[in-house]
Amino acid sequence: MSNVSKEAIQELRIKTGVSVMAVKKALDKADGDMAKAEVFLKEESLLIASKKADRETRAGIIQSYVHAGRIGVIVKLKCETDFVAKNPEFQNFSKDIAMQVAASESTRTEELLKEPYIKNTSLTISDYLKEAIGKFGENIEISDFKKLEL
């Protein structure tokens, strides 16, 4: 039986957004150490992302973002199911990607994936995408984007 507190599980769940069971497993493996559990969850996300990379993405969302009336972005994010596409957290993820494109000089997805994420520069967009794949349990891809500027 685990001696990890419900409070610790809830705190890490809020911080990472992953499932309660995954958080509990990570805290158990890390003997209750939050920092170690967070590292474990990131490693798990990478592993999950690599396993799901070949899955077909048939659903998704088109997200727009306008910055100060001078920069407009539209992004097409694809996922496996409508269930994930309609998830508010996935929609927030898509807004983050659209905001990233607005701040970016990239014209191709491959370039964008290599950039530091504007909300957390310790991550690249590729890392952020892999975390999202781990979190939602589905393959996700940044399929296309366009940017207009005045």
Strands 141-149 and 59-67: unpaired
Average pLDDT, the chain: 90
CA distance 102 to 39: 30
pLDDT at residue 119, rounded to an integer: 95
Right CATH number for 59-149 from 3.30.479.20, 3.40.50.720, 2.70.98.60, 3.40.605.10?
3.30.479.20
Interacting residues of 40 by C-beta distance below 8 A, sequence separation 6+: 26, 29, 30
pTM for the structure as a whole: 0.76
Question: Cβ–Cβ contacts within 10 Å for residue 124, how many?
Answer: 16
Q: CATH code for 6-52? A: 1.10.8.10
What mean pLDDT is predicted for residues 73-102? Answer: 96
pLDDT tens, position by position, 10-62? 888 888 777 788 888 888 888 888 889 888 888 887 777 777 778 889 999 99
Residue ranges of the chain that CATH labels 3.30.479.20: 59-149
